[in-house]
Structure 1
């Protein structure tokens, strides 16, 4: 009987840090668009406060990959967390919309630094036979933080919309402390001379793989739907529909995260046992089905049910994507360019989704904006029917 290899302790350190980061982010995400609107701006500009974060991530991603290659994953991870903490605290002090936008942009630089470096650490540290499982553990930690964050945020409503930014900053600093203390030595440190000569996956090599190209399209659609439209438009839709109400936005995001977290308890191991591709297609299909009617069924029960179902779909997409990305790069190669380009695809989707869907919502309504998002998810599923069934 084959014994399952234990999860490395370094993975658990990253999981704990991810939970703390997500807990703080979960406080901020539901109120961010409304906070922007408190400066007397419209839907498009309120959505753009999410977009600028992703835009800066997109622009800085290649530099982030280069910094990881030069200084190592752990160092860049910690610097990125420090920048996010400072940015969050400054956002809570912002006196006007444009200052808030500038501070959110600063946070995007830190965010892409710790995102790319954490992906690199997961690729290096995850046992090949458990890449789906470790990706699910890491993703679940983020989701649990996102579940508890909005709940705690609702208890802080009486203190105003600025307090969550300061709590987010504190949570990120605690996460940085956890990593500093418990993640010392081993993989992810500053590369040595031998590491510099080690084999690297070039971007040209990655783009030559049909699986990688399909992954980029999936990342774009995932970013459009779950990091763009869901964060930027869901709270605005809730606030604009009397039958739903502004307070339901945090609950819907919590149910999305809960559906995702519960489902990921099974998806990680299924992905390891059955392969990546089938679950990527399934996740995109579920996400499209949950998103298409989202803006039309404007009653509170449907609003909450569809948000939960969308979380179930996302639970297949994220771990399967990250496991396949690790398969393509391998544990002993530097995949900085491939990782940063994958991150860029997600951020490009977030930007496009926020701006285009936000414009559609402002011109013809939220129903059409969410329907367009569903079409993007369906389009991203098509390439998976064209690639070979056996992963390279």
Structure 2
């Protein structure tokens, strides 16, 4: 059977993801230094970064409800527009407090397009290729974050305000591309609004969703929180190298990530999600513990690569597992918001708690705690039913019959008349296991 081509809208979302990540990589390195230009201390400069993350966390539930009420496309474009305008305005900020408010507004827009983009990817992706799409989407974002600082260095001569203007213009271009590329006929939009709602409490009764929340919390705490906070300190305070070597370590992690990101997502469509979620979490846990025990810089680089490989195995796969839980035809805004909040909460709490542990004991113990969190996530996935076997009678492959190239090979329904839609009655999606 020939693999079906991905919808054009998927490539629009992937391209938009790349530009958004590129701009984030462009702005993030200069933001603390820009804040310091207003005469504030290190803590206040760091608060600019924290305010963005905090607003993402606080506004996530509202974003989920907006997706349910207004639809993914409207919320997606509105979120991008808010980030574009607030980022552009940052370039003209005249005080620290203006910058803080504008970045906080950017956090609201960020959570709006993050939740809605996940919803769009889930809705548009063919169920049998969810892992492949998640891998492509994650890879585009990773490449964007790597290219962003390189682009920023090319514009370094234009001053600290230039990256904000460049990012704002890029986002406005994305708005136009998304508007043109995601327009659909009125009948399709009406169908989207009529799609059955899938609430957070309903999702919590699905074992795979509970496991996804735990694994995304662990991802936020370990990969985006503790690693970013402690690795630079290990490089300087333990290995006694220049802080620039921490940037190399982070790049090596990204290289390990990129090596398996797309492949793992695609293979999870064939072999199931659990092998990659379990193995990836366990490998990343080993890498994180090894980081805390690094006696040399070479050891640190190898451990970073191993942790990156593990992260690359489970990151796209857990997004595909989330899509398996929701299905293609349900409106799951609050479910997606819960997933994002779990990751953001881990990013906020992880560095504080495990950083405190490292300060009171050692970096090795702090990183051991990080590895234990990932190992617990792997153990939970061992006892969780395979997400890709969850049946959604309203999904296109199930509804449209069992013949043809677009059929999901996992569909094992009995007695479903070809071409006859099966309406969702509010019952939980059932597992075929």
- What's the offset of the Cα at 1:99? 5.0
Tell me which residue corresponds to 2:120. Answer: 121
- What's the offset of the Cα at 1:119? 0.6
- What's the offset of the Cα at 1:278? 1.5
Is the CA contact (8 Å cut-off) linking 1:61 and 1:112 kept in structure 2?
yes
Which is worse superposed, 103-112 or 342-351? 103-112
Tell me which residue corresponds to 1:316. Answer: 313
Tell me which residue corresponds to 2:14. Answer: 15
Which is worse superposed, 146-155 or 126-135? 146-155
Q: Does residue 146 of the first structure (1) align with residue 133 of the second (2)?
A: no
Tell me which residue corresponds to 1:302. Answer: 299
- What's the offset of the Cα at 1:326? 1.1
Identify if the C-alpha distance between structure 1 residues 177 and 188 changes in structure 2 by more than 3 Å, giving closer, same or farther: farther
Identify if the C-alpha distance between structure 1 residues 164 and 322 changes in structure 2 by more than 3 Å, giving closer, same or farther: same
User: Unpaired runs of 5+ in structure 2?
Assistant: 391-430
User: Unpaired runs of 5+ in structure 1?
Assistant: none
Return the TM-score normalized by structure 2: 0.79
Once the two structures are superposed, the pairs formed by residues 188-227 of structure 1 within 5 Å of their partners are 192=190, 195-227=192-224
Tell me which residue corresponds to 1:325. Answer: 322
Identify the structure with the greater helix proportion: 1
The structure that has the greater radius of gyration is 2
Tell me which residue corresponds to 1:175. Answer: 174
- What's the offset of the Cα at 1:4? 0.5
Is the CA contact (8 Å cut-off) linking 2:281 and 2:375 kept in structure 1?
yes
Three-state SS of the structure 2 residue aligned to 1:293 is helix
Tell me which residue corresponds to 2:111. Answer: 112
Q: Does residue 59 of the first structure (1) align with residue 58 of the second (2)?
A: yes
How large is the RMSD of aligned CA atoms in angstroms?
3.0
Is the CA contact (8 Å cut-off) linking 2:290 and 2:300 kept in structure 1?
no
Is the CA contact (8 Å cut-off) linking 2:119 and 2:333 kept in structure 1?
yes
Q: Does residue 228 of the first structure (1) align with residue 221 of the second (2)?
A: no
Three-state SS of the structure 2 residue aligned to 1:245 is coil
Identify if the C-alpha distance between structure 1 residues 282 and 353 changes in structure 2 by more than 3 Å, giving closer, same or farther: same
- What's the offset of the Cα at 1:226? 2.3
CA offsets 1:24-76 (integer angstroms, 9 cap, x no match): 1122344556666776645x766654433222112111111111122221121
Tell me which residue corresponds to 2:249. Answer: 252
Which is worse superposed, 332-341 or 122-131? 332-341
1:386 to 367, 383, 388: 383
Query: Which of 1 and 2 has higher RCO (CA within 8 Å, sep 6+)?
Result: 1
Which is worse superposed, 120-129 or 25-34? 25-34
Q: Distance in 2 between matches of 1:368 and 1:47?
A: 25
Q: Distance in 1 between matches of 2:34 and 2:193?
A: 45
Return the TM-score normalized by structure 1: 0.87
Which is worse superposed, 363-372 or 143-152? 363-372
Q: Distance in 1 between matches of 2:50 and 2:195?
A: 36
Tell me which residue corresponds to 1:371. Answer: 368
